[in-house]
Amino acid sequence: MLLPLYAVGDLVSWRRVARALSWIEAVILTGYGLVLTVTGLLVQAGVIKAGPNADHRALAWHAYLWDPWFLCWGLLVVVALVRARRWQQ
């Protein structure tokens, strides 16, 4: 969670490694959030059938709250990295 702060900070010796790791973090979080949000919303819409033992309340919480948070988190890291690159040039 603190890695993007190092990537946009003033510690020049750490910045290159932190930026690379932050980009990896951003891709993973955005991809994870996107795939699980879309899948969860498809389950909620009935396009994908949930298993017989599925906890529908938990599926709804994931589709509408938890998984979109991962997507937002990843996108915010991307925005921070892009803005920091423009600012540091």
Is a pLDDT exceeding 80 seen at residue 1?
A: no
- pLDDT tens digit string along 60-80? 999 999 999 999 999 999 998
pLDDT at 75: 96
Q: What's the rounded Cα separation, in Å, for the pair 87 and 15? A: 14
**In the chain, which ranges are continuous DSSP H helix?**
3-7, 12-45, 56-61, 67-88
CA–CA distance, 47 with 38 (Å, rounded to integer): 11
Contact yes or no for 5/25 (Cβ under 8 A): no
